[in-house]
Amino acid sequence: MTFAEKLSMVHGALHEPTGITGPIYAGLVPAITRLCIPQLGLLDGPAGSGDGLTGVTQLPAPVALAANWDPELAHDFGSVIAAEHAGKGANVALAPALDIVRDPRAGRGFEVFGEDPYLTARLGVSETQGVQSLGLIAQAKHFAAYNQETLRDTQPDNVVVDERTLQEIYLPAFEAAVTEGGAGSVMCSYNYLNGTHACNNPYLLNQVLKGQWGFKGFVTTDWYAAFGGAGAANAGLDLQMPDDCYFGPALEKAIGANRVPQARLDDMVGRILRSMFVAGLFDRPASGSPDAVVTTPQHAAVARDIAARGMVLLKNSDNVLPIDPSRTHSIAVIGTGGDAGAITGGGGSSHVVPPYVVSPLTGIKARAGGATVRYADGTNPVQAIQAARSADVAIVFASVMQGEFKDRLTLELFPTDTLLIELVARSNPNTVVVLNTGSAVTMPWLDDVKGVLQAWYPGQEYGHALADVLFGDVDPSGKLPITFPKDLTQVPARSPLQWPGVGSVQYSEGLAVGYRWYDQQDITPLFPFGFGLSYTSFSIDHLSVGPAVTDDGHVTVGADVTNTGHRAGAEVVQLYLEHPSGTGEPPRVLRGFKRVSLDPGTAAHVTFELDPRALSVWDAANHRWSAGAGTYTVRVGNSSRNLPLSGAFTLSHALSPGIPTPPAPAIPQTSLADSLGDAAMCPKDFIAPYVNGGVLSITGFPPLEVLGKPVP
Ligand code: BGC
């Protein structure tokens, strides 16, 4: 390859003619035809094929997938994304998003798999494998500790987090996606981490990702998140997106001046090509087109299945659900969210244009049999009350639209939705609330209603999936992947220093994220992590733990789960581990889960394999994983707060799986003058046109490295 050819591979082509007609991907690295190197089309994202493309399937939001607690479905989800991306001619899927929901206000909380690193890792691995099973390159994002939108891409969005918390909470899902899932690329995030921008951070990129985990693929910036030229290249960044302001002429200059070794450019290009070879891009002709119609009935069926099984039944007094159309003669559907206002996906870069939307009203009408269905949009309270009074069951919808670029300020529903729920609840004793939200909300009206169903953002098949659950064709087997607090006073990030930060964002809650915090502080949330009801009932018993004493850190835990009710249904058996005292761990951590579908009266035996890594905590003094000798307790049940079975085993001596984080490799240091020179090629204070019709405003905070200032 010539130098120019190499350079053309390490940045996006926003400022070059792309040769593509019609809609375009979020990012593009043009082909090098002389060498038969195909183009790289980078297409969003985590909820289906995005970037404004049409003819695609709008899958449920990833949080709905997470609520399934089902790695196999995550594989199917990834395969649908892969098939549609491939049909569109793209070869990098900007998915999965593996950030942890540190706070339920996080705008992008719907785009990820919840608050637990283990659940996120298992689903991330499966989705990655699903994406890559059809020759796509998965891009795991956003690396790392990207947990809020407020202050995004600015210097005060500097996450101050200790090494142990980073390694135990925010990094494991990326590690798993890379080492087990084989993700071919990783996207670095907008935030700073301990004073250095994530895309310019040698600890994250060189030491952890490429050193500790042995990652051989490439690191891409989030869009316009490049915060350094020579410094970023030396820190381990491989591909700038979507433009070339740092890794175009500026990088050429830096290599010419020996500020970046030529070998680093070769490594950058080699990494990109390697992932392209692994994905088979050199083994088949380029195919697909942005204009192709790629959605299929099979993909829609996957969307419906995931949406239905991911709905979480939070309350079901007097078995108000499922609705039996032979006994229920009239149903009221109340609230705009029941029809035109139904939210099927979150906002921002993950948005997918649905080919159609099945509204709740349409889905309910189609399934209601002889029952009459009356709709009131709720804007007129008198009509809403009349509709509720005239029906056997009243289903009232409340929605919160959340998305990228903006965190929520509150966990409360809109006052109009709260009022509507209260009015309907007073007008009909059989009121069911359907929550169409991307994350937790408060429920001051909970005691006044009989049923609550958390539907998330269910994608284009919303109405069908909802009817499947409301009428009992599908057992609601979803479990919460996030804690629902009673109100904001309960959340771990309780001070402005922690959220949204003042000059920096202090992760001073440390390991106590999500249920770990509620357990540690002995706070009873509204609904705990892992919780979800079913239309049938289950018992979990016969716990076995063995061997009782282990030398090598391998332990098998078994239990039996029985469907003790009268309907077919699914249960998620969950295993939480308690470390020996004195390790500094929160009380319990999820270390296993199994989703089991059972007919009434049948039972299944589930097993969980624990290994040395599952027992380990991060030893910050030695920068490695370590499992201490001592007694470990396992607790098994069906939510983080319902763990009736317990057993114990002893690890006879300490183990240290994996390798330590290697020290920082020697890299050329970039002087302040050179940094400023690079930055001048890449002005930050512009408003970039954004592919999804919005604007991405970059507010002009120069990188800390350029300012040469201490971290606040
Ligand atoms: C988002 C990424 C996305 C990229 C490209 C950014 O705003 O943070 O998740 O992949 O845009 O659209």
pLDDT score of 708: 32
Share of the chain above pLDDT 70, in %: 95
The full DSSP string for 447-486 is GG-SEEEE-----TTHHHHHHHHHTTSS------SS-B-S
Say yes or no to pLDDT of 707 above 80.
no
For residue range 659-668, list pLDDT tens digits in order.
999 999 888 8
For residue range 106-147, list pLDDT tens digits in order.
999 999 999 999 999 999 999 999 999 999 999 999 999 999
Give the mean model confidence (pLDDT) for residues 12-28.
66
**Residue to probe by mutation, ligand 1, list 223, 239, 243, 407, most atoms within 8 Å of CB:** 223
Which residue's alpha carbon is at the smallest distance from atom 3 of ligand 1?
349
Distance 48 CA to ligand 1 centre (A): 13
pLDDT score of 671: 82
Cis ω for the linkage preceding 45 (within 30 of 0) = yes
Which residue's alpha carbon is at the smallest distance from atom 6 of ligand 1?
223
Please tell me what DSSP assigns to residue 375: E
CA-348 nearest atom, ligand 1 = 7
Give the mean model confidence (pLDDT) for residues 58-63.
98
pLDDT score of 121: 99
Residue with tokens 């080492």: 179
**What's the CA gap between 634 and 650, in Å, rounded?**
11
pLDDT score of 13: 87
Instruction: Tell me the CB-side half-sphere exposure of residue 428, using CA atoms within 13 A.
Output: 28
For residue range 608-649, list pLDDT tens digits in order.
999 999 999 999 999 999 999 999 999 999 999 999 999 999
Distance 148 CA to ligand 1 centre (A): 14
Which band of pLDDT confidence, cut at 50, 70 and 90, is reported for residue 699?
very low
N-terminal to C-terminal alpha carbon distance within the chain: 44
Q: What's the mean per-residue pLDDT of the chain?
A: 93
**What's the CA gap between 599 and 463, in Å, rounded?**
26
Q: In what order do the strands lie in the sheet with 330-334?
A: 312-316, 451-454, 431-436, 393-399, 330-334, 372-376
CB 668 within 8 A of CB 686: no
H-helix or E-strand containing 469?
helix 462-470
pLDDT score of 15: 59
- Which residues have any ligand 1 atom within 6 Å of their CB? 26, 44-45, 94, 141, 222-223, 349
Q: Which of 617, 623, 643, 638 is nearest to 553 (CA)?
A: 617
Please tell me what DSSP assigns to residue 642: B
pLDDT score of 60: 98
The Cβ of residue 553 has, within 10 Å, a number of other Cβ atoms equal to: 21
pLDDT score of 299: 98
Residue spans of alpha helices (H) in 456-595: 462-470, 515-521
Instruction: Look up residue 361 and give its two tokens.
Output: 């009203």
**What's the CA gap between 317 and 334, in Å, rounded?**
20
Distance 698 CA to ligand 1 centre (A): 13
For residue range 651-690, list pLDDT tens digits in order.
999 999 999 999 998 888 888 888 878 877 776 533 333 3
pLDDT score of 511: 98
**Residue to probe by mutation, ligand 1, list 404, 687, 692, most atoms within 8 Å of CB:** 404
For residue range 162-179, list pLDDT tens digits in order.
999 999 999 999 999 999
Q: Which of 23-32, 102-111, 199-208, 321-330 has the lowest mean pLDDT?
A: 23-32
pLDDT score of 260: 96
CB 633 within 8 A of CB 531: no
CA-241 nearest atom, ligand 1 = 5
**Residue to probe by mutation, ligand 1, list 14, 24, 44, most atoms within 8 Å of CB:** 44
Residues designated catalytic: 222
Give the torsion sign (CA, 619, 634, 561, 607): positive
Say yes or no to pLDDT of 338 above 80.
yes
Which band of pLDDT confidence, cut at 50, 70 and 90, is reported for residue 454?
very high
The Cβ of residue 518 has, within 10 Å, a number of other Cβ atoms equal to: 23
Distance 223 CA to ligand 1 centre (A): 6
Say yes or no to pLDDT of 190 above 70.
yes
CA-190 nearest atom, ligand 1 = 8
In terms of phi and psi (left: phi > 0; alpha: psi -120 to 50; beta: otherwise), the region of 510 is left
